[in-house]
Amino acid sequence: MPYVVTQSCCSDASCVVACPVNCIHPAPGEPGFGQAEMLHIDASTCVGCGACVTACPAGAIVPDVVLSEEERPFEALAAEYYDTFPHADRTPVALVPRQRRLRRRGPFRVAVVGAGPSGLYAADELLKHPEVAVDVIDRREAPHGLVRYGVAPDHERTREVARLLEAIARQPGFRYRLGLDVGRDVSHEQLAGEYDAVVHATGASADRRLDVPGADLPGVVGATALARWSNGDPDLPDLELPPAGSRVVVVGAGNVALDMARLLTGPLVGARQVVVLGRRGADVAAFTTPELIGLAGLRDVDVLLDGDPPAGTGVRARLLADLARRVPREGRPRIVLKFHAPVAEVVGTTRASGVRLADGTALDADLVVTAIGHEWTTVEHDRGRVRPGLYVVGWAKRGPSGFIGTNKSCAEETVAMLLDDLDAGVPERRRDAVSRIR
């Protein structure tokens, strides 16, 4: 009874290390790890022990015998991967290195600014050293950042990563300082004076602006703002959304765009039709195959492809061909994927009423949602070190890229630089400093 991975991977790699027969790939050290759409279990060598199931922080691994009909493409996707990358030698690639030990005795105090996954993975790496205590600071009253507020509500398995984050916070030496805004309640200079090191894990989360006329009209909403609204983010004002039965255009063809399509046709908004517009062809669209499988498997929504599917025989091409053949059913909400459809203008006078495509086609809409990425704001650094005593991880370090688990390898690199500086004795914190931070 082999197991199957059934969603986009968080790239945490816990399952890889747990597998006793090295049947989960791509693994750390192999091409594609950290950037691949997902990990795959080789059905021909899986022994069905279930070690990967207990290790997976997202609850994404299930036995093949319990796969639903909608989840069967994940099985084919794994087979397709191993046809291309057989990994016949099974050379160990996830060896656990010896734990590094600090040469200086400490104690050391480190502040991590930002309680999202990148900040908590950094705290986890630091707490492997008993000489180090970590305060995780966040301006919000609740931790976990975009895992709490930025993930589509129906991504329940992705939200299960919160269990891993909660386990990190239960470690000795960990402390939360929530509701504390760095820059308002406490200065950067205060942090630098009271901690041996400060790690900033507050990446860019603003939606990238659609650079066409009319993009600033009311009725144009960014995907991040919509996701935060759907999760009850207290920092976000109420969005003015159209009534149930409306028509919505989503600009963008990545995973977030598909998330928004599901959200908009769900009970929170209840849109009658959502048209997802991809600037380029379906064969180069940014969404991953696992996300397309999830969208195509919706049971109460018609998912259709407007136009010809791309050529090919792989899982992705077969799914798109199936969507092109589907016939809509009366009375059901509808998601339509449309490619080669760059937006030239958002039309409307006092409020957005639709979009005009580059070929002149007009599409009416009660709401326009942009899902074209985030503002790209990073800090200049060397492998996470801004200067001795000041460091960055996550999006502040690498930009809005990667998966949730990508923050683990990102944190490992930054923390290694931080530990080098602690061993070198730079910078030297005043040990008699009295805390002025509330």
> What DSSP element (H or E) covers 137?
strand 132-138
**Minimal CA–CA distance to 403: which of 317, 296, 288?**
288
Higher pLDDT, 174 or 62: 174
Residue bearing tokens 């480190």 = 110
Q: For residue 160, what pLDDT band results from cuts at 50, 70 and 90?
A: low
Question: Does residue 152 register a pLDDT over 70?
Answer: no
What was the pLDDT predicted at 382? 95
Distance CA 243, CA 15 (A): 43
**Torsion over CA of 113, 193, 180 and 379, rounded to 10 degrees?**
-30
Residue bearing tokens 């084919």 = 76
Distance CA 400, CA 378 (A): 9
- The lowest-confidence range among 288-292, 334-338, 404-408 is 404-408
Question: Does residue 157 register a pLDDT over 70?
Answer: no
Q: For residue 51, what pLDDT band results from cuts at 50, 70 and 90?
A: confident
**CATH classification of 108-205+375-424, choosing from 1.10.3810.10, 3.40.50.1100, 3.40.50.300, 3.40.50.720?**
3.40.50.720
Domain boundaries, the chain: 3-84, 108-205+375-424, 220-370
Q: What are phi and psi of 189, to 5 degrees?
A: -65, -40
- The lowest-confidence range among 22-26, 52-56, 215-219 is 52-56
Helices and strands (DSSP H and E) totals, the chain: 14, 19
In this structure, the number of other CB atoms found within 10 A of the CB of residue 10 comes to: 28
What was the pLDDT predicted at 228? 86
Question: Does residue 401 register a pLDDT over 60?
Answer: yes
Please state the rounded mean pLDDT for residues 204-233: 89
User: Which CATH architecture group holds 220-370?
Assistant: 3-Layer(bba) Sandwich (3.50)
Q: Which residues of 178-189 are buried (b: 16+ CB within 10 A; e: fewer)?
A: eebebeeebeee
Question: Does residue 69 register a pLDDT over 50?
Answer: yes
Q: For residue 206, what pLDDT band results from cuts at 50, 70 and 90?
A: confident
Percent of the chain surpassing pLDDT 70: 90
Question: Does residue 438 register a pLDDT over 70?
Answer: no
Please state the rounded mean pLDDT for residues 312-317: 90
Q: For residue 354, what pLDDT band results from cuts at 50, 70 and 90?
A: very high
Residue bearing tokens 């931080």 = 418
Question: Does residue 32 register a pLDDT over 80?
Answer: no
What was the pLDDT predicted at 37? 80
Q: For residue 105, what pLDDT band results from cuts at 50, 70 and 90?
A: confident
Give pTM, 2 decimals. 0.80
Angle of the 255-265 helix axis to the 289-296 helix axis, nearest 10? 20
Report yes or no: 130 and 173 within 8 Å, Cβ to Cβ. Answer: yes
**Per-chain mean pLDDT for the chain:** 88
**Torsion over CA of 283, 289, 295 and 299, rounded to 10 degrees?**
120
Please state the rounded mean pLDDT for residues 373-391: 91
Question: Does residue 72 register a pLDDT over 60?
Answer: yes
**CATH classification of 3-84, choosing from 2.60.120.10, 3.40.1690.10, 3.10.50.40, 3.30.70.20?**
3.30.70.20
